[in-house]
Amino acid sequence: MSGDLRVCFVGDSFVAGVGDPRCLGWAGRLAAMSHAEGVPLTAYNLGVRRQTSAEILARWHAECAPRLPEGVDARVVLSFGVNDATHENGRPRTTPEESVANLAKLLERAAEHGWPVLMVAPPPIDDAEHNVRTAALDERFARTCATAQVPYVRIHQQLRANQVWAGEVRAGDGAHPGAAGYEEMTALIAPLWREWLSR
């Protein structure tokens, strides 16, 4: 392992930490936790609000490549899906089949570069019908990652039952939590994150 550990966090508004007054979200909290535990890294937050998997697929390589040059311990964390499952004009912004295909392409391209990937499931929001669609996508994402031998963090169902997360999402904009909600999400991701970084 190179002493120059770099991680690109690629995804949507949840990756960007929207709603967190500390401007850390879960990605910033994971990076801070690693530094505190003696694993220094350079973290690049590449989260963009409202983006679907198709939009992320279109931009991610151009953004990651200059940040992950040859000779460094280069890694990518992905998380998306909530915007894919959002209905506009009576249909999802991205169909489940397209979402899965986009994820598969991302994983394939990352593997070509030798960039290990950790995929984090899309979280729930304060909309029961939307969450049903996202949960179905979560299942398909899990199978896609298993096929690619990429670790997948199953947080969707746990956060649906998490009162802190649900309360903060309701008190906020209906989708994004505040700091305490992101703390809960970070705690769910942390065990697999630590294992992934140690590889």
pLDDT score, position 3: 87
Q: Which CATH superfamily is domain 5-197 in?
A: SGNH hydrolase (3.40.50.1110)
pTM listed for this prediction: 0.97
Decide if 134 contacts 82 (C-beta within 8 A). Answer: yes
**Mean pLDDT along residues 9-23:** 98
On the question of pLDDT at 2 being above 90, the answer is no
**Mean pLDDT along residues 154-180:** 98
On the question of pLDDT at 180 being above 50, the answer is yes
For the chain, domain boundaries: 5-197
For 44: left if phi > 0, alpha if psi spans -120 to 50, otherwise beta; the answer is beta
Q: What is the pLDDT of residues 27-81, one digit of tens each?
A: 999 999 999 999 999 999 999 999 999 999 999 999 999 999 999 999 999 999 9
Give the CB-side neighbour count of residue 161, counting CA atoms within 13 A: 4
Report percent pLDDT > 70 for the chain.
Answer: 99
On the question of pLDDT at 142 being above 50, the answer is yes
b (16+ CB within 10 A) / e for 32-42: ebbeeeeeebe
